[in-house]
Amino acid sequence: MRCPQCDATENRVVDTRASREGRAVRRRRECSVCGERFTTYEYVEERAFQVLKRSGAVEEFDRSKLLGSIRIACAKRPVSASVMEAMVDEISDALSREAGVEIHSDRLGELVMEQLRPLDRVAYVRYASVYRNFQDVGEFQEFVDEMTARHEREIMLRNQVEFPF
């Protein structure tokens, strides 16, 4: 590792810990030349896969692009950055477990919506409005009505389980 201060390669590891729920190793280092302390992270190199878009175009999966779209949906909502990061980690893990080389963008969108729905309903609707590409207010209203009915059914089922009389 090169020191970010003096560019020297002589350094020693001062501390090592697991980071990001065991997905990375965080190392605290000290430069032997200038004494600067800095942090490095080690990650497992993930299998690269591509996203097949609706248009037929194929592009490399970009974790930061996925995180950006989730951040936009969660803007001004009570969803922390660490929760969004964990959501992207979980989606990436699911994709790498189930996917071959290519993943359809529809599957990626469905995974995001599965994660957002129980987390924040407003963020869920925001994401769905872009992902589902509603053409008019009627389509959007139908989606919101479906979501509301599903939510009410879930509440009724929960109440039946809690108070079975």
Encoded tokens for 69: 């779209």
Q: What angle do CA 91, 68, 107 make, to 5 degrees?
A: 35
Write the pLDDT tens digit of every residue in 63-117: 899 999 999 999 999 999 989 999 998 888 888 777 567 888 888 888 998 899 8
Amino acid sitting at position 159: N
pTM above 0.85, yes or no: no
Q: Which pLDDT score is estimated for 163?
A: 59
Q: Which pLDDT score is estimated for 27?
A: 94
Kindly state the helix (H) or strand (E) to which residue 54 belongs, with its residue range.
none
Q: Which pLDDT score is estimated for 99?
A: 59
Q: Tell me what the mean pLDDT of segment 39-59 comes to.
A: 84
Among 1, 26, 24, 25, residue whose Cα is nearest residue 12: 1
Q: Which pLDDT score is estimated for 107?
A: 87
